[in-house]
Each structure stands twice: as C-alpha cells, then as structure tokens.
C-alpha cells in the first residue's frame, strides 16, 4: 500500500477491493454501535483551496468516528505556494499532525505535498482527479448491484476530474465505462491512455462517444456532474450553451436499463446537468452516494493513518 492516496490509478485492484471491504465493515460497525477508536490521538489537517460540503464534513466525521480529530485550514489561512512554499508547509505540518488531506487547483500541488511530507497525503480533489469520490462511487455501485465487475457505467457531461477518477476505478475493477461528452471537453489524453492500458488487464471495456443517447443505451449507471467545475467559472456562460444536450432528464433515463441508477457527486445544479425529477426520482442514488463518502474515506484514513 502507498503512503498516500493521490489517484485511483496508483492502486492495484486488490488494494482497492480491500479498501471497499474495509469501508463496508466500518459502515456496518458504525451502524451497530460505533467504530473502534483506532485513530485515537491522531489528527488530519484538511487544506482547502476550494469550497466543500461533503469532503470537509465527511473527513472530519470519519476521523471523529475512529477516535481521532481533524483540523480545517481555509484557503485564506494557508496560501498554499503563495504565503509559503508547499515544501515548507509539508515539512511543518508533519511535525504537528499525522495526515494531510488537500483540495487544490493544480494537481501538481497535492503531488508535491506528498513528495515532501513524511506523513500520508490524501487528494481531496484537484483539477485533474477526485479519487475519494470514485471510491465512494464504487461502494455505491457495489451496494446496488452486489458487484462492480461487468457493470455498465455511463458518464454524461464534462470530461472533468470526477470523470477521470470514475474511469480509473472502472478500468481497475472491470466495470465497463462509457463517456459521452461534447467536443472540446474530453478527459486529458494521458488519463485516457493509462486507463486503456489498465482496462486491458481487467477486461473493462472503455467507450468514448459524443452522443448521450447512444451512451446510455445499455447503462446500469448514469453518472453526471456540473458543467462548470470550480476554477472554471469564467467559462460558465459558454458551457451553458454547449452542454444542454447532455442534461440527465427523464427522457435520457428512460433510454437506459429499467433498473438503471443515477449518480452525481454533488453539488448538483438542478435544471442544468440534472433535472429535479431525476435527482429526486426513483432511479436516484444521490444521497446514499454522498453518505458513502464518509464510509469510503474512513477506510482510507484507517488504512493510511492507523500505523502498527
Ligand atoms: N462531491 C464533493 O466532493 O463535494 P464537496 O465539493 O462538497 O466536497
Ligand atoms: N467537478 C466538480 C466536482 C465538485 C465536487 C468540481 O471540480 O468543481
């Protein structure tokens, strides 16, 4: 197991399955009276360069449930790479806390934190990827279908950080991943190439399309996310012109398998990438999915921070 949790692609399939098994065990344990305080006395520093609801609260609660604590460091306080270099921040923090979770703009910044810190570093979202989200997503898919291998996961919308991590976990665990996104909004080519190589080993089928209707045809899961990710707000108007054909609405859902589930990492922009009727309808798994962030991340901090 690596010191850090930076990207799904860094893990062997068995390591990801072990994290999912642990998440399931900790979720059960928590529901039946609570978790063992295995992280007693341990503190996770949470660095945020961007806003958050789920990541902030679920990591904080994960630490508390395991007997530890978490410390929120806002964008203004740290000034990552501005007030102080990332290398210096990493070496200072490792003397105070036992783990770092960071939500950053440039992916390189979370990699640099991990390079310099002798304590675990967790990627809580970068412009490139969102591995904690993908782990919770895999848990949600497993809970719904009793397996991940062979499930058809279709992502509709922007080829963003969430799409990249979802593609990676599908490729690792043998789920078939299809994406339909507009031209000009593809996932990064290096991420696609690496996932194609991994999929050859797992047997996952990866499909890259433009037409959302074609993409959902055999979908067991339809997944969408915001058209405009944090940091791209100046492109929002242009994106609102391009993305409407990619809206997940009742019509699109009716074109998929009858028992299709709909997922969204949240926050949702209702009326844009997803309609109210779908978000609140019978196929929606939006809230169990959000709740699974707690259980998936509990498995991550348990594994990385428990020690001997
Ligand atoms: N899905 C997700 O990461 O949500 P937050 O931005 O609220 O943390
Ligand atoms: N793609 C979105 C995910 C938010 C959790 C963003 O980066 O803003």
Q: What's 207's domain CATH number? A: 3.40.50.1370
Both 96 and 206 in one domain: the answer is: no
pLDDT tens track for 21-39? 999 999 999 999 999 999 9
Evaluate if residue 83 carries a pLDDT over 90: no
Residue nearest to atom 1 of ligand 2 (CA): 229
Instruction: Tell me how far apart the alpha carbons of residues 18 and 228 are, in angstroms, rounded to a whole number.
Output: 33
Evaluate if residue 1 carries a pLDDT over 80: no
Q: Which atom of ligand 1 is nearest to the CA of 58?
A: 8
52 lines ligand 1 (CB under 6 A): yes
CB 78 within 8 A of CB 104: no
Instruction: Tell me how far apart the alpha carbons of residues 284 and 260 are, in angstroms, rounded to a whole number.
Output: 9
Task: Please report whether residue 195 resides in a domain.
Answer: yes
Both 255 and 185 in one domain: the answer is: yes
- Choosing from 123, 130, 234, 266 the residue with most ligand 2 atoms within 8 A of its CB, the one to mutate for a pocket test is 130
Both 158 and 234 in one domain: the answer is: yes
102 lines ligand 1 (CB under 6 A): no
Give me the active site residues, please: 103, 130, 133, 225, 265, 293
Instruction: Tell me how far apart the alpha carbons of residues 117 and 98 are, in angstroms, rounded to a whole number.
Output: 10
Mean pLDDT on 161-170: 99
The predicted pLDDT at position 5 comes to 98
Both 18 and 91 in one domain: the answer is: yes
Both 194 and 248 in one domain: the answer is: yes
More confident residue, 1 or 228: 228
Q: Residue 84: helix, strand or coil by DSSP?
A: strand
Task: Please report whether residue 105 resides in a domain.
Answer: yes
Q: What angle do CA 17, 48, 167 make, to 5 degrees?
A: 35
Instruction: Tell me how far apart the alpha carbons of residues 127 and 108 are, in angstroms, rounded to a whole number.
Output: 10
How many separate domains does the chain show?
2
161 lines ligand 1 (CB under 6 A): no
Evaluate if residue 79 carries a pLDDT over 80: no
pLDDT tens track for 116-128? 999 999 999 999 9
H or E element at residue 101: strand 99-103
Instruction: Tell me how far apart the alpha carbons of residues 162 and 144 are, in angstroms, rounded to a whole number.
Output: 20
Both 68 and 212 in one domain: the answer is: no
Evaluate if residue 81 carries a pLDDT over 90: no
Task: Please report whether residue 168 resides in a domain.
Answer: yes
Task: Please report whether residue 229 resides in a domain.
Answer: yes
Tell me the pLDDT of the chain averaged across its residues.
Answer: 97
DSSP line for 5-58: B--GGGS-HHHHHHHHHHHHHHHHHHHTT----TTTT-EEEEEESS--SHHHHH
pLDDT tens track for 209-229? 999 999 999 999 999 999 999
Q: Which residues line ligand 2 (CB under 6 A)?
A: 125, 160-162, 225-226, 229-230, 265
Residue nearest to atom 4 of ligand 1 (CA): 54
Both 269 and 167 in one domain: the answer is: yes
pLDDT tens track for 273-297? 999 999 999 999 999 999 999 999 9
CB 118 within 8 A of CB 305: no
The predicted pLDDT at position 2 comes to 87
Both 56 and 141 in one domain: the answer is: no
* % of the chain surpassing 90 pLDDT: 95
Mean pLDDT on 253-279: 98
Residue nearest to atom 2 of ligand 1 (CA): 54
Both 147 and 243 in one domain: the answer is: yes
Task: Please report whether residue 1 resides in a domain.
Answer: no
The predicted pLDDT at position 33 comes to 96
CB 119 within 8 A of CB 100: yes
Both 126 and 139 in one domain: the answer is: no
The predicted pLDDT at position 82 comes to 82
Mean pLDDT on 123-147: 98
Mean pLDDT on 162-188: 98
* % of the chain surpassing 70 pLDDT: 99
Instruction: Tell me how far apart the alpha carbons of residues 149 and 250 are, in angstroms, rounded to a whole number.
Output: 27
Task: Please report whether residue 119 resides in a domain.
Answer: yes
Task: Please report whether residue 308 resides in a domain.
Answer: no
| Domain extent for 196 | 132-289
More confident residue, 177 or 1: 177
Q: Which atom of ligand 1 is nearest to the CA of 124?
A: 3
Both 164 and 260 in one domain: the answer is: yes
**Cα of 226 from ligand 2 centre, angstroms:** 7
Instruction: Tell me how far apart the alpha carbons of residues 228 and 246 are, in angstroms, rounded to a whole number.
Output: 13
Both 109 and 176 in one domain: the answer is: no
Evaluate if residue 77 carries a pLDDT over 90: no
Task: Please report whether residue 70 resides in a domain.
Answer: yes
Determine if the pTM surpasses 0.75.
yes
How far is the CA of 57 from the CAs of 64, 88, 233, 294, in angstroms?
11, 27, 24, 8
């Amino acid at each position: 197991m690596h010191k850090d949790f930076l990207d799904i692609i860094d893990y062997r399939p068995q390591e990801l399955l072990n994290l999912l098994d642990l998440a399931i065990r900790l979720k059960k344990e928590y529901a039946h009276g609570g978790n063992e305080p295995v992280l007693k006395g341990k503190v996770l520093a949470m660095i945020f360069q961007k806003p958050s609801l789920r990541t902030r609260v679920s990591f904080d609660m994960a630490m508390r449930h395991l007997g530890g604590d978490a410390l929120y460091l806002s964008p203004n306080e740290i000034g990552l790479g501005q007030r102080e270099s990332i290398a210096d921040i990493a070496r200072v923090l490792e003397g105070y806390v036992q783990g770092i979770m960071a939500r950053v703009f440039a992916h390189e910044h979370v990699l640099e934190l991990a390079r310099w810190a002798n304590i675990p570093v967790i990627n809580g979202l970068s412009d490139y990827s969102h591995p904690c989200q993908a782990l919770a997503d895999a848990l949600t898919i497993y809970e719904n279908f009793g397996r991940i291998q062979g499930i058809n996961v279709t992502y509709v919308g922007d080829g963003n950080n969430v799409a990249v991590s979802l593609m990676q976990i599908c490729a690792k665990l043998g789920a078939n991943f299809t994406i339909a996104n507009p031209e000009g909004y593809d996932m990064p080519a290096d991420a696609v190439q690496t996932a194609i190589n991994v999929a050859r080993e797992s047997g996952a089928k990866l499909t890259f399309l433009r037409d959302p209707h074609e993409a959902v045809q055999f979908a067991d899961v339809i997944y969408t996310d915001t058209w405009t990710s944090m940091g791209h707000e100046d492109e929002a108007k242009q994106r609102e012109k391009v993305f409407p054909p990619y809206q997940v609405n009742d019509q699109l859902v009716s074109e998929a398998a009858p028992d299709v589930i709909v997922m969204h990492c949240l926050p949702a922009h209702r009326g844009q990438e997803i309609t109210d009727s779908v978000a609140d309808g019978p196929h929606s798994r939006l809230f169990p999915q959000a709740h699974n962030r707690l259980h998936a991340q509990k498995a991550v901090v348990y594994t990385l921070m428990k020690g001997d």
